[in-house]
């Protein structure tokens, strides 16, 4: 074996080692989450030893989660909210991006500026006002309010999607318009089918958002029965100071259920997600 | 550009009034009259109904609040009871509510703006009818109008609903909250028990004058601002370079299972952030598993010594764990797109791997990802979740952060803003000032990105 080859082999080995070390580092906390979720807490509730002498593993936490807490209810709430907000948000984003990318109308430039400016304020600065607007509409403590809030600001995130539409070739559309097709037909028949990656990306991100948000839910909803999983789990270990030890294993079980749902979804759509991230970020 | 546009809209309306027929002019008063008189029943009655609804709204609701809004104060009458001499009873008085006056005032102004747009459409539609009649063309039917919403006026169909949502849930609340910065709305002025009022720029003066001393608002604000920038800098670049590094490792020639390695890290992205962050918080807790394993009792997230240095470092480290996979994903996508000719040419010229990295890979990456870095930086300035879920902004440090300011050691501007609005003693006015500051910072940085992007047309990678 030549010297050069040996050198390459050695450096490859080092790379594998480094990658493996980093990989382990990155997965350790997740491993800990899984382990804790399946750990049956000893009666004292103390959790700060990794492997206690009387270690027991089992699904007790999951049983407790589904029997004794409102978790199934929260899961259903989150699912309802995220499905409806996913549909609305995706539609809104597609509509706005298409209009701003392809159609030319008088208020286009000013509109882009308004969207830019509105997007620069931190979102929850206006939370209190949103709460009172919802209250005036009689919508506090309802899941509909969450859907409205999530999809109401959808127009602000048009950027990545518009960037994609900008790159879709126009030749076919122009031909279709000359042949007398109206713009709606063009949108629906020519542009949408070519835009599958960005549609999936938009839908995926807007579906996941309600699973992760707890701030808006916390403001809008006070009824425990109407919590989403994020807020429910957050409150489970952050409501009272000493709730940590009592609820931590159950929290881990709940977190694992949520994570499993999102990971599955994510992995099955990873290809599109990567395309979206690369596409959107490169164009800024 | 904008000015010309506004001018065109105004001149259009001016011509409609000056040059239009009597029917058109009357429509400026009685909306839809022209259309009704010309047998465009559906359209005309829609306009007429809109006007009636608007008048009713202003009479019974909006007008009062707009009047209040421009009366110079936000209400004077407290709710309570008043002795009525004639009837010899206490009468209940529904007092003013400054909050509702301001909120409904803003809402009503938005309604007026919306009405003006419809009014302008009504006038223009009538004028177009005039022109059509003069040129001897037929008026458009309702069906034709509907059809044009899918064609020439497709943008109206597409934009109406999303923009309505935006106005109701973002623009109106933002205007409202920005106005709060000019009032004294805080825990001592909570309607309906107490009223609040305009105070001009007093909050801004309080925030930026150093008379409050070392723990007054101005110094605390500076501390929070400096930390916000330090955090944003480290959070952005640590993730970026580590992500690039790992991407390069995976991208190396001869490394197998590239997909597997990438997926390994990407799993962390797929687990919702609030889960991973809360988990990390518990791992790093004083009673947490890390201390148990190390046999120590280090307060990773609450140690106050050296200006809370340890919590700050831990936050940045945890953020690397959370955020690196994103950059990894993006960088590996871009690395695959670097034209191989560059590398081939460099290898022929005898450049080593280090030289290739600094002369080709890094400049290319920087060029392509510069906008990403800036947006990432802005994103980190507003990165609420990481700070809030890890330390909640704490530890509390009364020596450097005066009690009245409610700021804590690892607070970013956003988390400070959030605490000011959700604390038991909220100070909405101060929070609103901070929100405006955040806006100014984000706007300045975005302007840089915008200019870069505009200049990019001339730049090419070299």
DSSP B101-127: HHHHHHHHHHHHHHHHHHHHHHHHHHH
Residues of B in contact with A16 (CB under 8 A): 255
Contact call for residues B181 and B429 (beta carbons, < 8 A):
yes
Contact yes or no for A99 and B155 at CB 8 A: yes
Interface subset of A 132-151, CB within 8 angstroms of B: 132-133, 136, 148-149, 151
Q: Is the pLDDT of residue A47 over 60?
A: no
CA atoms within 13 A on the CB side of B407: 30
Q: Is the pLDDT of residue B3 over 60?
A: no
Q: Is the pLDDT of residue A45 over 60?
A: no
Domain boundaries, position A258: 67-282
Q: Which long-range contacts (CB under 8 A, 24 or more apart) does A227-230 make?
A: A227/A70, A227/A73, A227/A74, A227/A77, A228/A74, A228/A77, A228/A78, A228/A81, A228/A146, A229/A71, A229/A74, A229/A75, A229/A77, A229/A78, A229/A254, A229/A258, A230/A78, A230/A258, A230/B272, A230/B274
The pLDDT of A161-180, averaged and rounded, is: 81
**This prediction's pTM:** 0.82
pLDDT tens readout for residues B17-73: 888 888 888 888 889 888 888 888 888 899 999 999 999 999 988 888 888 888 777
Among A20, A154, A33, smallest CA distance to A86 is for A154
Distances (CA, A) of B146 to B17, B119, B141, B149, B162: 26, 19, 9, 5, 19
What does the domain layout of chain B look like in residue ranges? 2-180, 206-455
Please give the torsion angle defined by the CA atoms of residues A38, A44, A48 and A51, in that order, rounded to the nearest 10 degrees.
-50
Q: Which of B143, B146, B154 to mutate to test the interface with A (most CBs of A within 10 A)?
A: B154
Cα distance between residue A145 and residue A141, in whole Å: 8
Contact call for residues B412 and B227 (beta carbons, < 8 A):
yes
Q: What CATH code is carried by the domain that includes residue A197?
A: 1.10.3720.10
Owner of token pair 């008048």: B55
Handedness of CA A92, A98, A100, A105 (dihedral sign): negative
Interface subset of A 6-65, CB within 8 angstroms of B: 8, 12, 15-16, 18-19, 22-23, 25-27, 29-30, 32-33, 47-50
Smallest CA–CA distance, residue B2 to chain A, in Å, is: 7
pLDDT tens readout for residues A270-283: 777 776 666 655 54
Identify the pLDDT of residue B461: 39
Q: Is the pLDDT of residue B459 over 50?
A: no
Assigned domain for A59 exists: no
Among B413, B426, B442, B458, smallest CA distance to B186 is for B426
Among B169, B181, B187, smallest CA distance to B434 is for B181
Please give the torsion angle defined by the CA atoms of residues A243, A248, A253 and A254, in that order, rounded to the nearest 10 degrees.
40
Q: Is the pLDDT of residue A247 over 80?
A: no
Cα distance between residue B432 and residue B178, in whole Å: 6
Contact yes or no for B438 and A122 at CB 8 A: yes
Contact call for residues B39 and B142 (beta carbons, < 8 A):
no
Give B316's strand partners. none
Assigned domain for A116 exists: yes
pLDDT tens readout for residues B419-439: 888 888 888 888 889 988 888
Q: Is the pLDDT of residue B154 over 60?
A: yes
Number of other residues whose CB lies within 10 A of the CB of residue A169: 9
Contact yes or no for A110 and B168 at CB 8 A: no
Q: In chain A, whose CA is at the least distance from the CA of B247?
A: A19
Please give the torsion angle defined by the CA atoms of residues A258, A134, B381 and A33, in that order, rounded to the nearest 10 degrees.
-10
Q: In chain A, whose CA is at the least distance from the CA of B371?
A: A284
- Confidence label for A78 from pLDDT (cuts 50, 70 and 90): very high
Q: Chain B contact for A217, CB < 8 A?
A: no
Smallest CA–CA distance, residue B205 to chain A, in Å, is: 20
Q: Which of B172, B250, B271, B438 to mutate to test the interface with A (most CBs of A within 10 A)?
A: B271
Identify the pLDDT of residue B239: 92
Interface subset of B 316-375, CB within 8 angstroms of A: 321, 324-326, 329-330, 333-334, 368-369, 371-372, 374-375
Of A48, A105, A185, the CB nearest to B155: A105
Assigned domain for A16 exists: no
Q: Which of A99, A102, A122, A145 to mutate to test the interface with B (most CBs of B within 10 A)?
A: A122
Q: Is the pLDDT of residue B168 over 70?
A: yes
Assigned domain for A45 exists: no
Q: Chain A contact for B163, CB < 8 A?
A: yes
Instruction: Please give the structure tokens belonging to residue A243.
Output: 């709730």
Q: For the ranges A159-173, B14-28, B173-187, which has the lowest average pLDDT?
A: A159-173
Assigned domain for A52 exists: no
Q: In chain B, whose CA is at the least distance from the CA of A183?
A: B151
Of A25, A127, A277, the CB nearest to B330: A277
Q: Is the pLDDT of residue B358 over 90?
A: no
Smallest CA–CA distance, residue A6 to chain B, in Å, is: 13
- Confidence label for A44 from pLDDT (cuts 50, 70 and 90): very low
Cα distance between residue B111 and residue A98, in whole Å: 27
Contact yes or no for B453 and A284 at CB 8 A: yes
CA atoms within 13 A on the CB side of B79: 9
Identify the pLDDT of residue A72: 92
Q: Chain B contact for A106, CB < 8 A?
A: yes
Contact call for residues A263 and A204 (beta carbons, < 8 A):
no
Q: In chain A, whose CA is at the least distance from the CA of B291?
A: A48
Of B104, B270, B279, the CB nearest to A263: B270
Identify the pLDDT of residue A1: 54
Assigned domain for A97 exists: yes
- Confidence label for B238 from pLDDT (cuts 50, 70 and 90): very high
- Confidence label for B321 from pLDDT (cuts 50, 70 and 90): very high
Q: How many domains does chain A have?
A: 1
Contact yes or no for A183 and B177 at CB 8 A: no
Cα distance between residue B357 and residue B360, in whole Å: 6
Contact call for residues B369 and B334 (beta carbons, < 8 A):
yes
Assigned domain for A30 exists: no
Residues of B in contact with A212 (CB under 8 A): 272-274
Cα distance between residue B398 and residue B401, in whole Å: 5
Owner of token pair 């910072």: B441
Interface subset of B 229-288, CB within 8 angstroms of A: 246, 249-250, 252, 254-255, 261, 263-276, 278-280, 282-283, 285, 287-288
Identify the pLDDT of residue A166: 81
Q: Chain B contact for A212, CB < 8 A?
A: yes
Residues of B in contact with A155 (CB under 8 A): 162-163, 165-166
Smallest CA–CA distance, residue A279 to chain B, in Å, is: 9
Identify the pLDDT of residue A269: 81
Cα distance between residue A126 and residue A89, in whole Å: 20
Instruction: Please give the structure tokens belonging to residue B242.
Output: 């580590």
Identify the pLDDT of residue B341: 81
The CATH homologous superfamily to which domain B206-455 belongs is MetI-like (1.10.3720.10)
Assigned domain for A11 exists: no
Establish whether the linkage from the previous residue to B395 is cis, with ω within 30° of 0: yes
């Amino acid at each position: 074996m030549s010297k050069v080859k040996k050198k390459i082999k050695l450096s490859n080995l080092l790379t594998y080692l480094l990658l493996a070390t980093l990989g382990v580092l990155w997965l350790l906390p997740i491993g800990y989450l899984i382990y804790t979720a399946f750990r049956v807490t000893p009666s004292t509730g103390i959790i700060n030893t990794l492997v206690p002498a009387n270690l027991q593993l089992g699904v007790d936490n999951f049983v407790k989660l589904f029997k004794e807490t409102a978790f199934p209810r929260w899961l259903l709430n989150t699912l309802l909210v995220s499905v409806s907000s996913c549909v609305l948000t995706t539609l809104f984003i597609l509509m706005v991006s298409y209009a701003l990318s392809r159609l030319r109308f008088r208020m286009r430039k000013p509109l882009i500026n308004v969207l830019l400016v509105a997007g620069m304020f931190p979102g929850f600065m206006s939370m209190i006002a949103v709460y009172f607007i919802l209250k005036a509409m009689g919508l506090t403590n309802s899941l509909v309010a969450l859907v409205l809030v999530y999809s109401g600001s959808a127009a602000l995130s048009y950027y990545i999607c518009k960037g994609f539409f900008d790159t879709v070739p126009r030749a076919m559309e122009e031909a279709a318009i000359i042949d007398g097709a109206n713009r709606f037909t063009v949108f629906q028949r020519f542009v949408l089918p070519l835009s599958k990656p960005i549609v999936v990306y938009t839908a995926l991100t807007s579906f996941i958002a309600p699973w992760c948000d707890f701030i808006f839910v916390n403001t809008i909803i006070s009824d425990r029965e109407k919590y989403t999983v994020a807020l429910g789990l957050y409150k489970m270990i952050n409501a009272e100071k000493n709730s940590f030890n009592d609820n931590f294993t159950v929290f881990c079980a709940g977190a694992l259920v949520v994570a499993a749902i999102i990971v599955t979804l994510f992995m099955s759509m990873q290809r599109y997600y990567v395309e979206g991230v690369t596409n959107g970020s490169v164009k800024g | 550009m904008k000015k010309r546009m506004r001018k065109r809209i105004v001149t259009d309306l001016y011509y409609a009034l000056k040059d239009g027929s009597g029917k058109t002019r009357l429509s400026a008063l009685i909306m839809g009259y022209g259309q009704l008189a010309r047998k465009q029943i559906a359209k005309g009655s829609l306009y007429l109904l809109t006007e009636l609804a608007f008048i009713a709204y202003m009479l019974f609701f909006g007008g009062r609040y707009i009047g209040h809004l421009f009366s110079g104060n936000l209400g004077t009458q407290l709710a309570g009871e008043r002795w009525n001499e004639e009837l010899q009873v206490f009468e209940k008085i529904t007092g003013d509510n400054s909050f509702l006056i301001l909120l409904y005032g803003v809402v009503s102004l938005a309604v007026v703006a919306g009405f003006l747009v419809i009014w302008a459409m009504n006038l223009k539609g009538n004028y177009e009818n005039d022109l059509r009649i003069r040129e001897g063309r037929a008026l458009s039917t309702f069906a034709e109008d509907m059809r044009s919403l899918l064609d020439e006026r497709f943008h109206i169909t597409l934009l109406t609903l999303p923009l309505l949502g935006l106005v109701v849930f973002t623009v109106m609340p933002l205007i409202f909250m920005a106005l709060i910065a000019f009032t004294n709305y805080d825990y001592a002025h909570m309607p309906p028990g107490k009223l609040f009022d305009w105070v001009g720029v007093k909050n801004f003066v309080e925030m930026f004058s150093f008379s409050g001393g070392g723990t007054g608002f101005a110094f605390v604000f500076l501390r929070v601002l400096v930390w916000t920038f330090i955090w944003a800098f480290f959070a952005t670049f640590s993730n970026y370079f580590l992500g690039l590094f790992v991407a390069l490792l995976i991208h190396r020639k001869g490394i197998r299972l590239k997909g597997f390695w990438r997926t390994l890290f990407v799993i962390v992205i797929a687990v919702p952030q609030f889960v991973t962050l809360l988990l990390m918080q518990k791992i790093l807790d004083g009673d947490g598993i890390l201390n148990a394993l190390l046999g120590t009792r280090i307060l990773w997230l609450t140690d106050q010594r050296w200006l809370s240095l340890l919590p700050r470092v831990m936050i940045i480290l945890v953020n690397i764990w959370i955020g690196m996979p994103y950059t990894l994903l993006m960088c590996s996508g871009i690395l695959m797109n670097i034209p191989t000719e560059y590398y081939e040419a460099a290898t022929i010229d005898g450049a080593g791997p280090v030289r290739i990295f600094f002369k080709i890979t890094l400049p290319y990456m920087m060029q392509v990802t510069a906008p990403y870095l800036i947006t990432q930086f802005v994103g980190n300035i507003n990165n609420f979740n990481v700070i809030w879920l890890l330390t909640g902004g704490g530890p509390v440090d009364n020596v450097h952060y005066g009690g009245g300011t409610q700021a804590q050691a690892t607070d970013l501007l956003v988390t400070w803003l959030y605490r000011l609005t959700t604390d038991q003693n909220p100070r909405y006015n101060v929070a609103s000032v901070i929100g405006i500051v955040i806006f100014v910072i984000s706007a300045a940085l975005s302007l840089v990105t915008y200019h870069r992007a505009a200049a990019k047309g001339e730049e090419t990678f070299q």
